[in-house]
Amino acid sequence: MNVEISWIILLFAIGFIGSFLSGMVGIGGSIIKYPMLLYIPPALGFTAFSAQEVSAVSAAQVFFASLAGLLAYRKGGWIHKPLVMYMGIPIVLGSFIGGYGSKFLSDSVINVTYAVLALIAAVMMFMPKRGGEGDGSIAAFNKPLAAGSAAAVGILSGIVGAAGAFITVPIMLVLLKIPTRVAIASSLAITFLSSIGSTGGKLMGGHMLLIPSLVMIAASIIGSPIGAKLGQRMNVKILQGLLSILITATVIKIWWDLLM
């Protein structure tokens, strides 16, 4: 098989698997696809991407993955608009700053930033949660905490080309006490807004790769809605457990490579 075709098929597979899982558990997919893009191509004999390139491709892919997942959830009544507004505006501003500012950072700093974010998310996912599954309506939440945490997450996640959903979901569950299904659905809307900022910042930074981005986007458009549809039918405890496992596995791999 032609090397170019094999490379495209590999990228599509990575994009589809990551987007399917991201749609199912309400994350943008970078928590999965960042290490997959970083490690799998060179392991199979293909040219390795730099951390700058991986973060740029991830940013473009997350934009379309979150949009596709959001469209799948929009009719379910689980998206909480005030929560999206209070977290979405700060995170889109922060992610633009992080996305553009990453052009001045080294690959090792970008990888460390990703590892720290993933570690925080993994720890938070194992903390007690009081939100429950919910019915689509939530009580008053701490608005300054929601906005402040979203801005901080936006800056850091923008650096690695993520939209921050893999940490905004734990923040909503643990700190804001948002019901799980509301948090998952609302995070897709927040992720979409964040991805606008991070993608714009990466484009201005000059690290965007056209063909890998297009392949990953195509995979996202297919995989994310399928995952979102399945996620709406799954038990909420299974969704929480799956998200925890995905984040923890990634944290172990990233920190092992950084320390060794």
- Give 177-189 as a DSSP string: ---HHHHHHHHHH
Give the best-scoring range by mean pLDDT among 30-34, 129-133, 226-230. Answer: 226-230
Round to whole Å and give the CA distance between 39 and 257. 10
Task: Report percent pLDDT > 70 for the chain.
Answer: 85
Which token pair is 110? 């970008």
Task: Report percent pLDDT > 90 for the chain.
Answer: 11
List all residues 6 or more positions away from 58 whose beta carbon is below 8 Å from its beta carbon. 29, 30, 33, 34, 37, 160, 161, 162, 216
- Give residue 149's pLDDT: 92
pLDDT at 69 over 80: no
Residue with tokens 């590892």: 115
pLDDT tens digits for range 208-254: 788 888 898 888 888 878 887 887 777 767 776 777 777 777 778 77
pLDDT at 132 over 80: no
pLDDT band at 73 (very low <50, low <70, confident <90, very high): low
- Give residue 143's pLDDT: 92
Q: Position 15: which residue type?
A: G
- Give residue 3's pLDDT: 59
Which token pair is 41? 């191509």
- For the residues 32-59, what does the mean pLDDT come to? 85
pLDDT at 82 over 80: yes
Greater confidence, 3 or 36? 36
Greater confidence, 30 or 220? 220
Asked if 171 contacts 90 with a C-beta cutoff of 8 angstroms, the reply is no
pLDDT tens digits for range 135-157: 455 667 899 999 999 999 999 98
Radius of gyration, alpha carbons of the chain: 17
Q: Quickly count: other Cβ atoms within 10 Å of residue 221's Cβ.
A: 17
Mean pLDDT across the chain, nearest whole number? 80
- Give residue 234's pLDDT: 73
pLDDT tens digits for range 88-127: 999 999 999 998 888 888 888 888 888 888 777 767 666 6
Coarse DSSP helix, strand, coil percentages of the chain, rounded to the nearest 5 percent: 80, 0, 20
Which token pair is 248? 């923890």
pTM of the model: 0.73
- Give ∠ CA 94-171-58 in degrees, rounded to 5: 50
Which token pair is 236? 């909420």
